[in-house]
Amino acid sequence: MATPELTGVRGPTRAGIEARTLREDRWWLAPLVTFVVFTAFVVYATVRAFMGRDYYASPYLSPFYSPCLGDCVEGASDFGQPFKAFPFSAALIILIFPLGFRMTCYYYRKAYYRAFWLSPPACAVAEPHSSYSGETRFPLILQNIHRWFWYAAVVVALVLTFDVVLAFRNAEHEWGHMGLGTLLMMINVAFIWLYTLSCHSCRHTVGGRLRHFSKHPVRYKLWTWVSKLNVNHARYAWVSLFSVALVDLYIWLLAAGVIDDVRFF
């Protein structure tokens, strides 16, 4: 039987290895890339959210401002302006829902816990924290409302899908037209749906807490389908992050008059 002197393990604690890690690969690369990309996105999204302008280039509406429910420019409010008296940017009314969904996402939690808090920075790498309380205390206990943010994310995805339909118009709102912005919005909403439907909360919603799948064939089919999507959930999380920023950037440049939309027909 192995002894503590040979294994380095002394009781129900961590291995008694003084080195931070015995890994010789570039384990630090993944958290570093995550830190840089997330920081860049947060800075970009924050700037755009507080700008309050250049978010609508008919017929395109930026996903950061959709649905536009505040004091929005003409043509941008397809659902009215119930919060017209809101004194700040209209993006701040809606962004809390997709942002809350991503911030409480199981994959994103793993990613930013490692990249920003080094908890731990990688597998088999010791973290610098002396204690660990998990997600049982404020504010991390709020991570448990992720499932409710998922419901809101479904509504947001439906609205973005509606925006894609409206994008099959020209600047004068005549139907039967398509531009590069339409294509970018279609790609973005496809990845938004893949990210939303591959969510662990979605998997639990359609098939969780069932004792007998045989008695629920429809929910079993849905659960099987979502389970297959769930395998690539992390990939969809990254791609949809880039796609939503790209669509906003394209519409920003159009609205600011920097570029012209490429029209296919």
How large is the angle between the packed helices 180-197 and 233-255, nearest 10 degrees?
150
Lowest mean pLDDT among 8-17, 44-53, 188-197: 8-17
pLDDT on residue 8: 47
Per-residue DSSP letters for 181-212? Answer: HHHHHHHHHHHHHHHHHTSHHHHHHHHTT-S-
The percentage of residues in the chain with a pLDDT greater than 70, rounded to a whole number, is 94
Listed in sequence order, the residues at least 6 apart from 233 whose beta carbon sits closer than 8 Å to its beta carbon are 107, 195, 198, 199, 200
pLDDT on residue 12: 53
Count how many residues are written for the chain: 265
Q: Tens digit of pLDDT for each residue in 223-243?
A: 999 999 999 999 999 999 999
For 110, the token pair is 């793993």
pLDDT on residue 23: 87
The burial class, CB within 10 Å (0-12 / 13-18 / 19+), for 69 is buried
Strand partners, 122: none
The Cα 160–Cα 154 span in angstroms is: 10
In the chain, count H helices and then E strands. Answer: 10, 2
Predicted TM-score (pTM) of the model is: 0.89
Which 3 state secondary structure label does DSSP give 205? helix
pLDDT on residue 129: 79
How large is the angle between the packed helices 180-197 and 217-230, nearest 10 degrees?
110
pLDDT on residue 212: 85
pLDDT on residue 208: 84
Q: Tens digit of pLDDT for each residue in 115-166?
A: 999 988 999 898 887 777 778 888 888 898 999 999 999 999 999 999 999 9
The sign of the CA dihedral 98, 103, 107, 108 is positive
Q: Tens digit of pLDDT for each residue in 26-37?
A: 999 999 999 999
The Cα 204–Cα 207 span in angstroms is: 5
Listed in sequence order, the residues at least 6 apart from 86 whose beta carbon sits closer than 8 Å to its beta carbon are 70, 71, 92, 93
Which residue has better confidence, 18 or 186?
A: 186
pLDDT on residue 210: 82
143: left (phi over 0), alpha (psi -120 to 50) or beta: alpha
The residue ranges of every structural domain in the chain are 25-255
pLDDT on residue 97: 96
What one-letter code names the amino acid at 225? W
- For residues 191 and 243, is the Cβ–Cβ distance under 8 A? yes
Which 3 state secondary structure label does DSSP give 100? helix
Which residue has better confidence, 17 or 84?
A: 84
In 10 A of CB 31, how many CB atoms?
A: 21
Which 3 state secondary structure label does DSSP give 76? coil
